[in-house]
Structures are given as C-alpha cells and as structure tokens.
Chain A
Amino acid sequence: MRLQYASTVRIIEMPCTGTIDHRVLLKTFEDGADGVFVAGCMEGDCHFLKGNIRAKKRVNMVKNILEEIGFGGDRLDFFNLSAAQGQRFAEIVTEMTDRIRELGPTPLNQKEGDTA
C-alpha cells in the first residue's frame, strides 16, 4: 500500500488488546512516551469475543487516572480498526501525532531548568 505515516511511532504487538493491563499503559508514560494509542479490532470482531471492549474500558480508566494526577488523559486513546484497514491506521497515526505535537513533549522528560 506504500502508505506514509509518522516515523515517530513505535509499534508494540500484543496478542489481543484484551491482554493490555493498566500497568503497561502507565509504564509507557513513565518510560518517556509522549503519547500512546491502542489499536484494537472492530467491535464485534474480537477473536476472543470481548478483548477489545475490555481494553477500551481499561484505557478509559487509565485516561481518568492520568487526568486526575495532572498528566492529562489526551495523550492516551483507543481506536477500533481491522487488520485490513491500513489506510485508517495511517490516518490514526497522523491524527495522534498531530495531537501529541500540539500537546508537546511529555512533561515527564523535562530536565531541571526546562520551562513548560
């Protein structure tokens, strides 16, 4: 398909979004990720029936935590798309990259003396 998308994205493959734990998401931010998005299958298409629906709930829970602690929940999001939607994947990467660029680098990577 030769689709273009931002080279700043690192893909971490999981067997199913349903295996994603709150701790994994929080760790990505602690390790310095500027933003994270979880790409799950289309609703109703989960091989394990509800993995993507459960993952979405967990992502929303972590968004709430990030909001509560002042980090901001916008740096994390969940998208539904199928393995055949390469075009949509590239769009989401662009959308998330634009959003994160607007938010700026993660505040957790700032060194002493940095402003904003």
Chain B
Amino acid sequence: MIIAQQKSIQDIASMIEDCNKVLLVGCAGCVTVCLAGGEKETEVLAASLRIKRRLENKPLETVTFVATRQCDPEYIETLESYVKDVDAVISLACGVGVQYVAERFSDKWVVPALNTNFIGGSLNHGEWEERCGLCGDCVLHRTGGICPIIRCSKSILNGPCGGSQYGKCEISKDMDCAWQLIYDRMKALGKLDKLMEYQPPKDWSKSRDGGPRRAVREDVMID
C-alpha cells in the first residue's frame, strides 16, 4: 500500500487561513490502512482545525466525507454535492487522490493534508517500511523475494558492497544489508547458483523515465 503521514496541523491550517468553510475528504484506501487519512483521522483533523480557528477568533466550518478511493474518478463524483459551497477542499489521500480531486473540481482550492512517503507494508501496528521501489521491472524472482532496489541503500544489483558488516548496512546498525538477506535466503533455498547467472543490465527505461508512466489493459476497457 501507499504509506503517507499527516502534515503538521499548523501547515494545513496555513493553507486554508482565508477560508471559512472547508471540506475534508478522507480516503478509504491505503491511507486508511496506514492510519493517515481514514474516517477517524479526517474527523480528528477537522476537530483540531475547528478548535485552532476558534482560538484565533476565526471560526471554521468543516464538512467531512470519506471517499471509497480518491484515485478513481467514479468515487470523486460522489463529492460533488459536498464541494459546492465550501471555500477549499482538504484531501487526506495520497498525492494521487489530491490531484484527482483538484482535476475534477478545477474551480476549487484543493490542498493536501498528507505527505505521501512510499510503497510499503506493516511491520507492527503503527509501523511501516518501504518494500517496493516501483522500478517497473521486478527482479524478486532472482533475489529470493527480497528487493535490492529499495532495501539496499545503494539499490545495487550485485551486492553486497564493502559497506556490509555482520549483516548490517553501513548507513545504520539497525538496517539489515539487503544483499546479506538475499544471500542467506538463496542459500537456505539451495539456489545460490542462481546468483551466479549472468544478468544483462537492468532496463531502467521502465522506471522513472520519459515522464509519467501509464498502464493499459485494453481487454477491460469500456468503449
């Protein structure tokens, strides 16, 4: 999932300081799971902003709504009746959701409440870690299911490097060396020979190259 974290209330408040009524839109997708922009977080932020503005003698009216997903135009449509009479929309979605809302309601001031951090998963309740570098050319079948692109600090494909000591990366004693993990896993699987196979240079043209990437499935497109 996409992992995001809320900006400071101060920062969000400064984006809407000239507004009297705002719509806060949460997202029931990834940011609900990572506890950054779900129903609860949306209502907590709304209450915090209302209290802050009352203290400043500039009361703020808030409306809250949680879209099923903000990265799908069909769910953005459900916002229409809420958006009409507000001065601004605060989106608690990832950067994608904010852009979809801003694109659909082009005459509205749309601001982000979250910083979108990375693609990752849960380690514990309340702790998440980056696990995918979105390189567009997955190599996990060659590395024992451990991603060297994002879990190696240098993203190298032929590690470990000289900075690996006792299974840890040189950047932090708390960070595992991804290539040590890969080696250990491949050894346990009896597939160390796979690491010796010749690999051509990775095709980075499928990564951040040539502007925004697009994926198409023609068979599911509706004419």
Contact = CB atoms under 8 A, between A and B. Distances in A.
Interface residues of B, number: 16
B9 A22 contact: no
B55 A26 contact: no
Interface in A16-62: 21-23, 26-27, 29-30
B69 interface: no
B44 interface: yes
A63 to B, nearest CB: 12
Interface stretch (B45-53, B138-146, B193-201): B45-53
Given A22-B44, A23-B40, A23-B44, A68 B10 contact: yes
Given A68-B9, A68-B10, A69-B9, A108 B54 contact: yes
Contacts of A23: 40, 43-44, 47
**Chain A interface main SS type:** helix
Interface string B34-47: 00000010011001
B40 A69 contact: no
B160 to A, nearest CB: 38
B81 interface: no
Nearest to A68: B9
23 contacts: A22-B44, A23-B44, A26-B44, A26-B48, A26-B51, A27-B47, A30-B47, A30-B50, A30-B51, A65-B9, A66-B51, A68-B9, A68-B10, A68-B48, A69-B9, A69-B13, A69-B48, A69-B51, A69-B52, A69-B55, A70-B52, A70-B55, A108-B51
A79 interface: no
A83 B123 CA distance: 36
B40 A21 contact: yes
B51 A29 contact: yes
A89 interface: no
B51 A71 contact: yes
B14 interface: no
B205 interface: no
B172 interface: no
B39 to A, nearest CB: 10
Contacts of A104: none
The winner among B8, B9, B54, B57 for most chain A CB atoms within 10 A is: B54
A26 to B, nearest CB: 4
Contacts of B43: 23
For A22, A65, A69, A70, the residue with the greatest tally of chain B CB atoms inside 10 Å of its CB is A69
